[in-house]
Amino acid sequence: MAINFSSSRTRFIFRSPAPGEAGFCKTGFRKTGFRKTGFREIAYLLLAIAILAVVSTTASEAAGSERGDTGKPSLIDKLEPMPIEHGHADESTDDTAGDTVKKEKDKEQDKPITVFEDQDEEDEDLAPTGDVDVYLSVAVPHTRNVVVKGMAYPYPPKMPLISSNMLPDDDKSIKELLMGSGYLRRQTANQPNPLGGWRWQYAFNKAVKKSRLTFPHSIVEHYRWSNAMVKFIRPEIQQINRFEKQRLAKYQLEESFFTEHSEIIKHDSARRGLDPVAIEVLPASPKRLGLDMKVRVARAKWWFTVDYTVPGLTYHWRIIRDLAKEKPERLILNEGNAISIEGGW
């Protein structure tokens, strides 16, 4: 008996000995061991059927792949692809899920930040948190017929005009001023446009006190007195001129900052919602000297400006305070910290 199994690729043939061959009877089985020989043939038959089933499945899958059929996903299809380290992938690899996000992130980091950008984190930092009261006190020796105006700006305001000059310190100019001041004697603090200006009057009064010389009563004594006073008043003049040079340097620094940054800071303050605020003049009190003012502003950086005018003299103050970082305190405005003093100064 012969059994022939074949497929498109494999062919199996199982044959039992033919009748009449040695060891076989007419029925085709051995004369002895009939039961043992019959079970062996059946086992061969089952093995052949199993092999045929495997071969048929393999052949059908190969044929299906040639036709483009996908079928059910295999174990290999279910495996996750191995991640490729960034920078070592093939040029043809399309890593849109990783490189695209990283490139966009790098662009955001490399992008310069300006005050014109609307960023959520920046807006939270810039947002004012609460208001605060700021008090200002003007302490100058000139207090009659005062006209005062104060403003708080969230940006650098326009600079006031200035025409500062120094006191003369040569002998001839000093003697001429001493001759005139000796005739007029001391002038009151509220008299407008004194001889030589108020700086000269301050230097003159200090020099007279230090010299302990009496005022002359005749023209002859007056010349001798003027010559003797030169050595006392020159140091006072030089000290006042040093103060004025420092005031001028401060003015020039503020003017340069205003020219370079005023528009940018003004735009930024508008984005924050900050506007200039007028400073209120408080009622006079017999317990306090000078003039008191008050303003309520947000916790941010402010430029406090005050224009104080009396007959023949005008003071300009420009005080900067960052109330977001500094504790609010009373601002004292005097002749020493004024940004400029115009008129009979």
CB 239 within 8 A of CB 132: no
Predicted confidence (pLDDT) per residue in 218-246, tens digit: 888 888 899 999 999 999 999 999 999 99
Query: Ranked by mean pLDDT, which of 204-218, 273-287, 295-309 comes out on top?
Result: 295-309
Query: In this predicted structure, what is the pLDDT of residue 78?
Result: 42
Are β-strands 280-281 and 277-278 bridged in parallel, bridged antiparallel, or unpaired?
unpaired
pLDDT given at position 47: 75
Same-domain status, 238 and 183: yes
Rounded distance, CA 186 to CA 201, Å? 8
The structural domain count of the chain equals 3
In terms of domains, do 236 and 257 share one? no
- Arithmetic mean of pLDDT, 51-59: 63
**Are 282 and 211 part of one and the same domain?**
no
1: exposed, middle or buried (C-beta count within 10 Å: 0-12, 13-18, 19+)?
exposed
- Range with the largest mean pLDDT of 94-98, 118-122, 202-206, 282-286: 202-206
Specify if 320 maps to a domain: yes
| Tens digit of each residue's pLDDT (9 = 90 or more) over 117-175 | 444 444 445 445 679 999 999 999 998 899 999 999 999 999 998 877 899 999 999 99
Residue 106 lies in a domain: no
Distance CA 308, CA 146 (A): 7
- Same domain? For 156 and 20 the reply is no
Q: Which residues of 241-256 are buried (b: 16+ CB within 10 A; e: fewer)?
A: beebeebbeebeebbe
pLDDT at 4 over 90: no
Q: Are residues 54 and 137 in the same domain?
A: no
Does residue 274 share a domain with residue 210? no
Q: Is residue 212 part of a domain?
A: yes
267 confidence band (pLDDT: 50, 70, 90): very high
Instruction: Write the pLDDT tens digit of every residue in 11-25.
Output: 544 455 555 544 444
Decide if pLDDT at 66 tops 50. Answer: no
Residue 274 lies in a domain: yes
Same domain, yes or no: 229 and 336: no
- Mean pLDDT to the nearest integer, 302-312: 96
Residue 109 lies in a domain: no
Residue 193 confidence (pLDDT): 79
* 137, part of any domain: yes
Residue 91 domain-assigned? no
In a domain, 199, yes or no: yes
Query: Per DSSP, what are the bridge partners of residue 135?
Result: 294
- Residues of the chain with pLDDT > 90, as a percent, come to 45
Q: Do 294 and 145 belong to one domain?
A: yes
Could you tell me if 259 and 200 lie in one domain? no
pLDDT at 56 over 70: no
- In terms of domains, do 58 and 176 share one? no
% of the chain exceeding 70 in pLDDT: 63
Which of 210, 225, 242 is at the close of a domain?
A: 242
pLDDT above 80 (res 250): yes
Place of tokens 């003797």: 228
Q: What is the pLDDT of residue 135?
A: 95
As a whole number of angstroms, the distance between CA 329 and CA 132 comes to: 10
Instruction: Report the C-alpha gap between 336 and 30 in whole angstroms.
Output: 136
Residues spanned by the domain of 323: 132-162+248-343
pLDDT reading at 277 higher than 70: yes
pTM: 0.61
Once rounded to an integer, what is the mean pLDDT over residues 286-308?
91
Q: Report helix, strand and coil shares of the chain as percent, to nearest 5.
A: 40, 20, 40
Confidence of residue 293 (pLDDT cuts 50, 70, 90): very high
Q: 155 and 274, same structural domain?
A: yes
pLDDT at site 31: 43
**Of the candidates 242, 275, 299, which is a domain's last residue?**
242
Same domain, 154 and 258: yes
Of 10, 45, 67, the one marking the end of a domain is: 67
